[in-house]
Amino acid sequence: MRSFFGKFKLFGAVLIGVSGVIIYLFYNALTPKELLPVYTPAMVNAELVPQEIQHVRKYHTISNFSLTNQNGQNITQENYKDKIYIADFFFTTCPTICPIMTKNMALIQQRLGNDNEVLLLSHTVTPEIDSVAQLKNYAIEKGVDDSRWNLVTGDKKQIYELARKSYLAVKTDGDGGPFDMIHTENFILVDKEKRIRGFYDGTNTEDIDQLMTDLDILKASYND
């Protein structure tokens, strides 16, 4: 009799275990995965979007570019192929928000550890001042890891068009001419398909934490 009840208990325990696994699998299947929005010009404050693209509701991506980094290397979209990356705009002589932004970008670099799926990209908005040598000195001073973080300079019109028409990061006034100047605290999260997945205040520690959370969500979406 005891043997019979012993077998019954074993069967019951197995049944409960199997039921738990089934419930867990059903729960996971029915729970929607958290996903980040894919930003398009139509979703962003119109003040930050040139009028000619304000109607665009899908297929917005970061345009191709050709710029030069702190080591004198040509940097293009090929360097970011199949990578997630975080972009911003700064200048080395900025006395206000840029030092805070650079400090927070360096913190992101540190928090990424050995993660080679995510890269960083900082564009100077004063390329006439920020030469390769100037960027290199700044990179050394700020602890930039050359293998994952490019500080880039180049044609001013190209950089300003990227900021306005690709990254949707700054007000649209200006043409990238000699007297044009942009200044933005935005960090922009870009996915492997060159699409914008988030905007964050690069001077705000809470926004940096949110960026890191969103980064985990984005990375997880590639592992489903």
Residue 187 is classified by DSSP as: E
34 vs 23 pLDDT, higher one: 34
Q: Which of 52-56, 171-175, 208-212 has the lowest mean pLDDT?
A: 171-175
What average pLDDT does this structure show over 158-170?
A: 95
Q: pTM value?
A: 0.84
pLDDT at position 7 is 52
Instruction: Mention every residue, 6+ apart, whose C-beta is less than 8 A from residue 216.
Output: none
Rounded Cα–Cα distance for residues 81 and 3 (Å): 64
Strand partners, 118: 84
| Residue 171 pLDDT grade (very low, low, confident, very high; cuts 50, 70, 90) | confident
Query: Is the pLDDT at 18 greater than 60, yes or no?
Result: no
The tokens for 78 are 């090929």
Position 27 pLDDT exceeds 60:
no
One-letter amino acid of 79: N
Q: How many CA atoms lie within 13 A of 13 on its CB side?
A: 6
Per-residue pLDDT band for 1 (boundaries 50, 70, 90) equals low
The string of pLDDT tens digits covering residues 61-94 is 999 999 999 999 999 999 999 999 999 999 999 9
Higher pLDDT, 181 or 100: 100
| Beta-strand relationship, 149-152 and 118-124 | parallel
The dihedrals phi and psi of 11, each to the nearest 5 degrees, come to: -60, -40
